[in-house]
Amino acid sequence: MLTVVLSGLRARWASFLGGFVALALGVGLLATMGLGLSATFHAPERSPQRFASSPVVVQGQDRLTLDVRRGPSTVSVEQRLDRPQPVDNDVLRELRARWTVTPSDAGRPDSGRPDAVGVDAPAAEVRALVGDRAQVLTGADRVRADPDPERDADALVALNALLGTSGGVTAFVSVFVVASTFAFAVALRRREFGLLRTAGATPGQIRRLLLAEAAALGVLASAAGCALGALGAPLLARSLVDGGLAPGWFTVGGATWPFHAAFWTGVTVALAGAVAASRRAGKVGPTAALREADVDADTLPLGRALLGTGLLLSGLGLLVWTYATEPSALLKRKTYTTLPMLLITGVALLSPLLVRPVARLLRLRGAVGTLVRENSAASVRRTAAVAAPVLVTVALAGTLFGSATSVTRAKGVEAREQTAAEYVVAGAGLKPVTAPPGALVSATGTTSVFVRDGAEAVVKYQAPAVADPAAFAGLARLPVVAGDLRDLDDRSIVVNEEFERHRVGETVEVWRADGTGPVRLRVAAVLALGTGDNGPYVTRANAPGADPDRIDARGGGTATVRALEASGGTVRSADAWAAAGHREGGNPQNRLGMILVLGIALVYTVIGLANTLLMATSVRRGELSSLRLAGATRAQILRVVTGEATLAVAIGTLLGLVVTALVLGTLGAGLAALSAPVALALPWGTVGAAAGACATVAVAASALPAWRLTR
């Protein structure tokens, strides 16, 4: 068996080349993504900066700790505060009475007290004195007193999501392409299997032959892929840093688990891709295999039909369920990246059902057009094998870029609709502005509030802090579903429908950004959820330390513009502000991440198309020779072959657009359910570029072997 396998691999190396490259590249990308992902699990250890010379640091509490119910027991959960509380005055006085205390170089403007001090004393004695009135930090823990101590960990959150998504797409597309390659390669070898069966080979021997070939290919390709991953990981880290997706200190580590995971995933993918094909090859008898060698019959076996139908219905069901239960989840990148994969796989598995009807509907002129139509309809396996990878790329391009652009556009339209201001100034640390005569000026800052969600969780909300409730109510055009914005004051809060208690007049327990509380605030108004930025809103009295970061203004003419310019920010019209803050496609980092994901899919599509068409065209010598004998010129034969490839790409593009329409249509329904603007956008440029690249590769991969065979 081993001799037969090795001889077969040597004799048919060209047909295995595409699968080998696809699998090696997939394993290499998985290893690369895994090495990058492993580096995001832990931020680098930094030495203390703010109190580097102090052996002990006493800091105010920087965590809010609350008890919640988890099943039958009660547990404590922590939420990080925006900044630590000030150190208690009694603690400061006692520390200064006994030891040398280094004051903080950054006080708290709202209290005038430091949030941390350095102490030159034994840590045990300081802990005994302070007790639970403040935190005592020593050693590496002193870094928690530095400004934004968790900035490194926060910087890795988005990178972790990006690499995880890219790794998932890599695994999905590699399985898809490798399985399709094996299935099509087996279909082309039916005559060979028929001869083996005639010579006495049993179905089990045929299956074992194919699985052995797959195992050999998987081991070799996975080993090559691991070597590629070791070379590619440092390049990935450098590219992520240069593209602004990772902090400047980011580097890949020395983890070994990504290599193990990638290698065995590659071997598993190769074997899984061959299992279905081997079962099918082993079921047919000798005469049936010979008879079906040139005719596509039974192109959609029952197992494939059931699996495709199940995946398609699962994808549709998840879309509908998400829309019905949590429409806001449809706006998240994780959702519109993963859910389409079920639809893509289901439609791809069922694609042979669509190939023949679509081809028959075409009315192409002339003999060449007739041959293109009839050959495509007759060779369902070949047409579907070409259409499937195109479907993957077009659907990912449409759903990823279309969903991201639609969400960003909806946010921009929503932001513009929610203010009646003529001018908006945005930026950190804005100076207060006095409204000129005849003008209405509203300043807001960013704070956070902590609210219990039932008895099981504590939720942190980002909340605009309103400086002047009357001016705010005069300029805001928020989607109020109950109550009145004019009722907002220091004893009330504006919430959205996501809050557990969201009826006007109800009382909500809130902990402020510095952990103080709880304070009981009355619900003054309730807002629709929108795209996620609608509330809650509080006044400055419940937002300690919140500096203005946005000023809206209307009226007053040039005097208002001059006053806004004195705030230290850039004055823009409301339209320009909304456009600048919500550029289509999201921020450049997110767009670069989507390009990375789409690039992976496109590379695999190119490999799959080239391999499939090179194999398919190379075995058509008899058919093309018959056309030459019938009087067809070489140019006509090339037009037939490339026309078939173009038609298959067009079918794949059409199916990809169907998946895109389903996803974007559900997204639009979700936006409407959230009372957000429905501003859907199909990225025709990106989809067209992906389809054009697929068509170019398909034409070249079919024309080159056809030119050689018709010489």
Whether 587 maps to a domain, the answer reads yes
The predicted pLDDT at position 292 comes to 45
- In the chain, the percentage of residues whose pLDDT exceeds 70 is 90
Buried-exposed string 127-145: b where 16+ CB fall within 10 A, e elsewhere: eebbeeebbbbbeeebbbb
In a domain, 574, yes or no: no
Is 217 domain-assigned?
A: yes
Q: With pLDDT > 90 as the criterion, what percentage of the chain qualifies?
A: 29
Per-residue pLDDT of 586-645, as tens digits, reads 566 677 777 877 888 888 788 878 877 877 777 777 777 777 777 778 888 888 889 888
Task: Identify the band that residue 171 occupies on the pLDDT scale cut at 50, 70 and 90.
Answer: confident
**Mean predicted lDDT score pLDDT of the chain:** 83
- Same domain flag for 354 and 258: no
pLDDT band at 282 (very low <50, low <70, confident <90, very high): low
What pLDDT does 78 receive? Answer: 83
Q: Are residues 264 and 336 in the same domain?
A: no
Say whether pLDDT at 107 is over 50: no
Last residue of a domain, one of 536, 568, 600: 568
Residue 578: inside a domain: no
Least confident among 50-59, 291-300, 524-533: 291-300
Last residue of a domain, one of 148, 181, 202: 148
List, for residues 368-399, the tens digit of each pLDDT value.
777 887 777 777 878 888 888 899 889 989 99
Residue 356 predicted with pLDDT over 80: no
The reply to whether 180 and 37 lie within a common domain is yes
Instruction: State the pLDDT confidence band at 12, using cuts at 50, 70 and 90.
Output: low
Give the residue, 454 or 109, on which the prediction is more confident: 454
Please tell me whether residues 366 and 350 are part of one structural domain.
Answer: yes
- Check whether 61 has a pLDDT greater than 80: yes
Mean of the pLDDT values across residues 687-699? 92
Q: Is the pLDDT of residue 153 over 90?
A: no
Number of domains in the chain: 4
Q: Do 221 and 280 sit in the same domain of this protein?
A: yes
Task: Based on the fold, state whether residues 241 and 337 are members of the same structural domain.
Answer: no
Q: State phi, psi for 703 to the nearest 5 degrees.
A: -75, -40
Check pLDDT > 70 for residue 546: yes
The answer to whether residue 49 is domain-embedded is no
In a domain, 381, yes or no: yes
Q: Helix, strand, coil: what percent of the chain each, to 5?
A: 60, 15, 25
Query: What's the pLDDT score for residue 9?
Result: 57
Residue-range definition of the domain harbouring residue 256:
1-43+150-293
Q: Is 370 part of a structural domain of the chain?
A: yes
Same-domain pairing of 505 and 412: no
Select the highest-mean-pLDDT range: 12-26, 119-133, 294-308, 576-590. Answer: 119-133
Mean pLDDT, range 354-374, rounded to an integer: 76
The alpha carbons of the chain give a radius of gyration, in whole angstroms, of 32
**Is 670 in the same domain as 684?**
yes
Which of 258, 293, 328 is the endpoint of a domain? 293
pLDDT tens track for 188-238: 666 677 677 777 777 777 778 788 888 888 898 899 999 999 998 898 888
Same domain, 267 and 400: no
Across residues 230-252, what is the average pLDDT?
A: 83
pLDDT for 104 equals 60
On the question of a cis peptide bond just before residue 357, with omega within 30 degrees of 0, the verdict is no
Q: Verify that 209 and 158 share a domain, yes or no.
A: yes
Q: Is the pLDDT of residue 41 over 50?
A: yes
Q: How far is CA 54 from CA 46, 106, 136, 140, in A?
A: 16, 16, 12, 12
Q: What is the mean pLDDT of residues 448-475?
A: 90
Residue 108: pLDDT above 80?
no
pLDDT at 10: 60
- Rounded to two decimals, the pTM is 0.82
Rounded distance between C-alpha atoms, residue 147 and residue 373, angstroms: 68
Does pLDDT of 299 surpass 70?
no
- How does residue 503 score in pLDDT terms, banded at 50, 70 and 90? very high
517 and 602 share one domain: no
Asked if residue 256 belongs to a domain, the reply is yes
Q: Taking the chain, what is the end-to-end CA distance rounded to the nearest angstrom?
A: 38
> Same domain, yes or no, for 274 and 327?
no
Helix axes 684-709, 380-417, angle to 10 degrees: 160
